[in-house]
Amino acid sequence: MATIKLDGLRKSFGKTEVIHGIDIDIEDGEFIVIVGPSGCGKSTMLRMVAGLETVTSGEVQINGVRVNELEPMDRNIAMVFQNYALYPHMNVFDNMAYGLKIAKTPKPEIAERVGAAAKLLQLEEFLQRRPRELSGGQRQRVAMGRAIVRKPDVFLFDEPLSNLDAKLRVQMRLEIKELQRSLGVTTLYVTHDQVEAMTLADRMIVMNDGMADQIGAPLDVYEKPATVFVAGFIGSPATNFFGGDLVTGSQNTALISAFNDDERAALGQPATMIGIRPEHLQVCEPNSAFLTLTVKYTEALGAETLIHGKLPKGDAITIRQSGHLPMPEGGQEIGAVWSEHSVMVFEQNGRRV
């Protein structure tokens, strides 16, 4: 097992800096999810921990030891890739055992380790099959089994579920979390899927253009996003954002009076924004609303309904309500209210007040 420390981690390709200084202490057995949009630097950061990319500046420490100059094989890490990276001419047993054979592990120990991993992953009946004879989920289990048999200090997952269909992703998420808890191995997991991040992570790193916008427990990040980017990226449907000119209007006197002095001062700046999540808005009659909107269309999803509308100034707005409530029609004018505790106020620089 291992602790990991990233201290001022930076990466440049030529004159272009892609990782702008990441600092985090990861505890033994912790499950860390690195989440963000494509091109934000999350896979590059993972590859630096793995030793597949050189570190421009800063340090990577595993169990208190600087590993910047160590080869990947000397870091005692195991990596699971998006494309499985299985040898097509080998059966499942040989794929899982290959790393141990290269390390000249005795055959009885190889058989024991592969057998234990296959039992854990429910692959015992597939050990003699080749990858082409397996489903996508089974191939991903084989890739995980190959990592498990090495008994690494650290697991590194690079978008391992991206190639699977939606239902199988849900199943594999549960299996990965259960597996990590049972083994207790420190894990770094890269994904662009916020649902994976929210459900898997002990803590998550939200990456934005090479920087860690926020590091924290999933619910803390969801309920208290540190920046406009985090508030917009985490949560589905995305947060509604409104300009400061909207919230300082006369129809929002009740809303403004609920803020403290710092929040009122921020709202006085022209570029200030507020954010309200769709589930924190309630539909009401227009004459008793903080905001009025025109319904563009609705999405009936069964347990919930999404109402997509347009404000008088043209801003888009989404409301999420329970599926059993009456559903407005397209073109209808409705009102929306919210509680003051559900409003997020952001300064000009994008940081939350």
For residue 174, being part of any structural domain is answered with: yes
CA distance 342 to 235: 14
State residue 267's pLDDT score: 59
Q: Which amino acid is at 258?
A: A
Judgement on whether residues 215 and 265 belong to the same structural domain of the protein: no
Asked if 179 and 86 sit in the same domain, the reply is yes
Query: Do 187 and 277 sit in the same domain of this protein?
Result: no
Q: How far is CA 18 from CA 43, 128, 182, 189, in A?
A: 11, 43, 35, 19
- In whole angstroms, give the CA distance from residue 353 to residue 344: 8
Residue 325 and residue 209 share a domain: no
Residue 198 lies in a domain: yes
243 and 227, same domain (yes or no): no
- Same-domain check for residues 301 and 177: no
What is the SS3 string spanning 135-171?
A: CHHHHHHHHHHHHHCCCCCEEEEECCCCCCCHHHHHH
* Closest of 317, 332, 351 to residue 237, by C-alpha: 317
Please tell me whether residues 105 and 195 are part of one structural domain: yes
Q: Are 128 and 95 in contact (CB under 8 A)?
A: no
* pLDDT at residue 290 in the model: 76
Amino acid 85: pLDDT: 86
Buried b (16+ CB within 10 A) or exposed e, 154-190: bbbbbbbbeebeeeebeebbebbbebbeebebbbbbb
Domain boundary among 196, 214, 232: 232
Which of 173, 207, 232 represents a domain boundary (last residue)? 232
Residues 6+ apart with CB under 8 A from 251: 289, 290, 291
Question: Domain range spanning residue 120?
Answer: 4-232
Per-residue tokens: 200? 């898997």
Task: Tell me the CATH number at 122.
Answer: 3.40.50.300
What are the backbone angles phi and psi of residue 349, rounded to the nearest 5°?
-80, 5
Within-domain flag for 82: yes
The verdict on residue 352 lying in a domain is no
Structure-token pair, residue 89: 């001419």
Instruction: Quote the CA–CA distance of 106 and 269 in Å, as a whole number.
Output: 69
**pLDDT at position 315, please?**
82
Residue type, 191: T
* Residue 73 shares a structural domain with residue 148: yes
Q: Looking at the structure, do residues 196 and 244 belong to the same domain, yes or no?
A: no
Question: In the structure encoding, which two tokens stand for residue 215, read together?
Answer: 């590091």
- Strand order of the β-sheet with 316-322 is 282-284, 333-337, 291-300, 304-310, 316-322
- Report the alpha-carbon distance of residue 11 to residue 7 in Å, rounded: 12
Of the candidates 155, 205, 154, the one whose C-alpha atom is nearest the C-alpha of residue 3 is: 154
Number of independent structural domains in the chain: 2
Tell whether 295 is covered by a domain: yes
CATH number of residue 328's parent domain: 2.40.50.140
Considering the domain architecture, whether residues 228 and 244 belong to the same structural domain is answered as no
- pLDDT confidence of residue 314: 81
Query: Could you tell me where the beta strands, DSSP code E, fall in 196-310?
Result: 203-208, 211-216, 240-243, 273-276, 282-284, 291-300, 304-310
Say yes or no: 18 and 87 in one domain. Answer: yes
Q: Are 82 and 45 within 8 A, CB to CB? A: no
Quick check: is 162 in a domain?
yes
In a domain, 351, yes or no: no
Q: For residue 247, what pLDDT is reported?
A: 53
Same domain, 61 and 199: yes
Mark out the alpha helices in 192-272 (DSSP H runs).
194-200, 218-223, 228-233, 244-247, 253-256, 261-267
Taking only the tens of pLDDT, the chain with its 353 residues reads 799 999 999 999 999 999 999 999 999 999 999 999 999 999 999 999 999 999 999 999 999 999 999 999 899 999 998 888 899 999 999 999 998 999 899 999 999 999 999 998 989 999 999 999 999 889 999 999 999 998 999 999 999 988 888 888 888 898 899 989 999 999 999 999 999 999 999 999 999 999 999 999 999 999 999 999 999 999 989 999 887 555 544 444 445 444 556 665 655 555 477 889 999 999 998 887 778 899 999 999 999 999 999 988 788 999 999 999 989 999 999 998 887 678 888 877 888 87
Output DSSP code: residue 239: P
pLDDT at position 250? 40
Q: Does residue 353 lie in a domain region? A: no
Query: Which of 170, 204, 232 finishes a domain?
Result: 232
